Structure 1
Amino acid sequence: MEALLSSTFTVAIAEIGDKTQLLALILAARFKNKTAIILGMFLSTLINHFAAAWLGQWAINWVSPDVARYLVAASFFAIALWVLIPDKIDVKESRFYKMGPFLATFILFFIAEMGDKTQIATIVLAAKYDSLTMVVAGTTLGMLLANVPVVIVGHFSADKLPMLWIHRACAMLFALLGVATLFV
């Protein structure tokens, strides 16, 4: 249960102001079918995060437990610093839009998540916890908690949120996860 809650909370916070959240806003403004956008987000995230979590669990088996602990902690510290750099997204017209809201969302979210903070966090969380299912469920739920409201209330702008403080709090969360990994 710790893996599920930690993964959900970590990704939901990390996703605020992230490029995929900005993409959700753009897609919500572009398409009227919010259900198709949400379903595309869900399936794309589920597949992407499953692959990331599998990679994290596979990779952690190649190193000793002590080295693994230091690598996971260092990864959390690196993500903490990375979160402090706000994301931007290119708002030009995508060729995927003509595929409709579901396929456009599925493809664009999958591409946007490649190498993204939340995907890296999923790899690290899967390396930390020995529960692929709970990590994937948690990170997917975290993505949905952060992005579904943006799709539903697409006219609400992220500019109205205190992004500097949100990014700082998120960085602190990742730093605390790094410390906890080292000492717990």
Structure 2
Amino acid sequence: MDAFLVSTGIVALAEMGDKTQLLAFMLAAKFRKPAPIIFGILVATLLNHGMAGALGTWIPHLLDAEVLRWVLGIGFIIMAIWILIPDKLDEGDTKFVSLGVFGTTVVAFFIAEMGDKTQIATVALAAQYQSFIAVVLGTTVGMLLANAPAVLLGNKFASSLPTTWIHRVVAAIFAIMGVAILLGLGSYLGL
């Protein structure tokens, strides 16, 4: 349960102001059809984070436990720093309009998530918890918690959120997790 809850919370918070949330706003404004957009986000996230979770659960089988501890600890600290860097939406993220609302959303979200903070976080969380299903479901729920309101409420919702503070809190969580893992305290904290 820890893997699911931590994955959900971290991704939901990390997604605030992320480029995929900006993409959700753009798709909602362009198509004005929330149901296929939200379903497209769900499918794209399950596919993308499914691959990331599989990689994350595979990595510990390749690395010695001590090396893995250092890789994960440093990785979480790098994520803490990366979270503080604001995202910008690339023009290429919405070029697939001929695929319809659902298809455009799936392709655009899948591509936008490649190498994104939340995808990398999914790899790290799956490696840490060794719980593919709990992590992928958690990160997917987190994506939906952040992006479904973006689709449903549009720019009014985004402008009222203190994204700078949200990013700082998420960065602090990642930093604490990284330091705890490096100090060998991860198991005491449920990591």
State TM-score, norm by structure 2: 0.92
Which residue of structure 1 aligns with residue 189 of structure 2?
none
* Match runs of 1:55-134 below 5 Å: 55-91=55-91, 94-134=94-134
What is the rounded CA distance, in whole Å, between the counterparts of 1:94 and 1:177 in structure 2? 34
Q: Offset at 1:91?
A: 4.9
What is the rounded CA distance, in whole Å, between the counterparts of 2:79 and 2:116 in structure 1? 10
Structure 1: 5+ residue stretches without partners: none
Q: Offset at 1:69?
A: 1.1
What is the rounded CA distance, in whole Å, between the counterparts of 1:157 and 1:30 in structure 2? 17
What is the rounded CA distance, in whole Å, between the counterparts of 2:9 and 2:94 in structure 1? 31
Structure 1 range deviating more: 159-168 or 23-32: 159-168
State TM-score, norm by structure 1: 0.95
Structure 1 range deviating more: 90-99 or 167-176: 90-99
Query: 1:137 is matched by which residue type in structure 2?
Result: L
Structure 2: 5+ residue stretches without partners: 187-191
Given that 2:79 and 2:121 are in contact with CA atoms closer than 8 Å, whether structure 1 keeps it comes out as yes
Which residue of structure 2 aligns with residue 38 of structure 1?
38
Which residue of structure 1 aligns with residue 14 of structure 2?
14
Given that 1:84 and 1:167 are in contact with CA atoms closer than 8 Å, whether structure 2 keeps it comes out as yes
Deviations 1:116-173 (A, max 9, x none): 0000000000000021000000000000000000001124252332222111111101
What is the rounded CA distance, in whole Å, between the counterparts of 1:111 and 1:123 in structure 2? 16
Task: Report % sequence identity.
Answer: 51
Structure 1 range deviating more: 60-69 or 132-141: 60-69
SS in 2 for 1:100: helix
Structure 1 range deviating more: 54-63 or 128-137: 54-63
Given that 1:26 and 1:91 are in contact with CA atoms closer than 8 Å, whether structure 2 keeps it comes out as no
Given that 2:93 and 2:108 are in contact with CA atoms closer than 8 Å, whether structure 1 keeps it comes out as no
